[in-house]
Amino acid sequence: MAKKEYMFYPGCSAERLASASNYEVSVQAMCDVLDIQLNEIPDWNCCGASIGYAGGGELPRLALNARNLAIAEQEHPEQDIVATCAACWLGARETKDRLEEDSTLMRETNEALAEAGLKYEAKQRVRHMVEVLIEDIGYEELGSHVKKPLSGMKIAGYVGCQTNRPFGIEGESFENPKYLDKMIETVGAEPVEKYDKKVQCCGGALAFSEPEKSQAMIKDIIEAAYDGGADMIVTPCPVCQLNVEVYQGQINKKYRTKFEMPVVYYSQLMGVAYGKSAKQVGLDGQVIRARKLEELADKK
């Protein structure tokens, strides 16, 4: 099968030594097996994420995103843009949609971009990595590369917010999306059935500014995974991963719980199932070690 190529928008959290650097490592390992080539958008910038609005306003935020899109368009107009971070995807795709719909905003954005000698024409699609996996590769092929099925592991598929709303994945519902569960099955593990917190908000950026309110929600997300008998939680979003993983110590103190629930990325599950080592899929980047996955990855 021919190599698939995309313009790649990794985002700030995927940089070396940043909070989702382990996600980036595992995505590269996964794409290596699936023969996907990711061509990084040269000199990409931040999307403004969920809370950029306060200082940014509408047009500066659109223009910031349009810079990435314009550079990608210049580089490889025939390739789709793919993002791995939920916020990056949302910011980039929303920009494309809004500029396409509103010719005034498009004109003004291009006026701002002209300051840097750029021009945007909205030629490319903006997609999430999960869409690429499901739509361009397909569950069947995703399963065909499995060398080490994750048998005996029960996993809670935590989709979260921004990979799911407002755009979501074609054919999936906002309230009960099934694709993550299907991906869990594809790698030979068992999804937690009726995981009722699968689209619950983790607080997003407000986990930093309103920690108590957010940690109350995070507690419910983890508790529901335990109730379903999960060995670990899997998510497609860097902020979900961070928030649900790193505050477990504080939650344990406050609520007298004994949480020690690993939270991994879908790309790490796939990487391990495809025969990559624990290090190759960034499992050394988990604050709460995913021991069952590590053991399987290290098995010859």
Partner 1 sequence: MSDLNTAMVEKYRNSFLKEVEANVEEGEWVKMCMQCGVCSGSCPLGPYWEHPPQEIFMMIRAGERDEVLKSTSMWMCTSCYNCIVRCPRELPITHIMHGLAHYAERLGIAPRQNPTRKFALMFWDNLSKTGRVNEPVLGVGLYFMNGIKEGIRTALRMAPVGLGMLRTKRFNPFAFLFHRGCKGKKDIHKIIRKARELELAKAAKFGG
222 contacts: CB under 8 Å, gap ≥ 6? 233, 244, 248, 251, 257, 259, 261
Q: Does 172 bind partner 1 (CB under 8 A)?
A: no
Q: Does 281 bind partner 1 (CB under 8 A)?
A: no
- Pick the closer one to partner 1 by CB: 191 or 203: 203
Q: Check if the beta carbon of residue 283 is closer than 8 Å to that of residue 297.
A: yes
**Minimal distance in Å, beta carbon 17 to partner 1?**
4
CA 131 to CA 128: how far, in whole Å? 5
Q: Does 170 bind partner 1 (CB under 8 A)?
A: no
Stretch that binds partner 1, among 41-49, 149-157, 181-189, 262-270 (CB under 8 A): 41-49
Give Cα separations from 208 to 105, 122, 225, 272 (angstroms).
Answer: 32, 34, 23, 32
CA 271 to CA 299: how far, in whole Å? 14
CA 240 to CA 86: how far, in whole Å? 9
Q: Does 217 bind partner 1 (CB under 8 A)?
A: yes
Q: Does 45 bind partner 1 (CB under 8 A)?
A: yes
Number of neighbouring beta carbons within 10 Å of residue 155:
30
- Pick the closer one to partner 1 by CB: 35 or 111: 111
Q: Does 267 bind partner 1 (CB under 8 A)?
A: no
Stretch that binds partner 1, among 111-119, 125-133, 181-189, 267-275 (CB under 8 A): 111-119
225 contacts: CB under 8 Å, gap ≥ 6? 156, 158, 192, 195, 197, 233, 261
Q: Does 200 bind partner 1 (CB under 8 A)?
A: yes
Q: Could you tell me how far CA 234 lies from the centroid of its own chain?
A: 11
CA 278 to CA 285: how far, in whole Å? 10
The two tokens of residue 270 are 């796939």
Stretch that binds partner 1, among 189-197, 247-255, 260-268, 271-279 (CB under 8 A): 247-255
Q: Does 219 bind partner 1 (CB under 8 A)?
A: no
Site for partner 1 in 1-40 (CB under 8 A): 12-13, 15-22
- Pick the closer one to partner 1 by CB: 106 or 187: 106
Number of neighbouring beta carbons within 10 Å of residue 224:
20
Residue 134 parent element (H or E): none
Q: Does 108 bind partner 1 (CB under 8 A)?
A: yes
Q: Does 137 bind partner 1 (CB under 8 A)?
A: no
Q: Does 112 bind partner 1 (CB under 8 A)?
A: yes
Please, what sign has the CA dihedral across residues 146, 148, 152, 157? negative
Site for partner 1 in 46-85 (CB under 8 A): 46, 48-60, 62-64, 67
- Pick the closer one to partner 1 by CB: 27 or 36: 27
Chain residues that interact with partner 1, rule: CB under 8 A = 12-13, 15-22, 43-46, 48-60, 62-64, 67, 108-109, 111-116, 161-162, 165-166, 168, 174, 200-201, 203-206, 208-210, 213-214, 217, 246-247, 249-250, 284-287
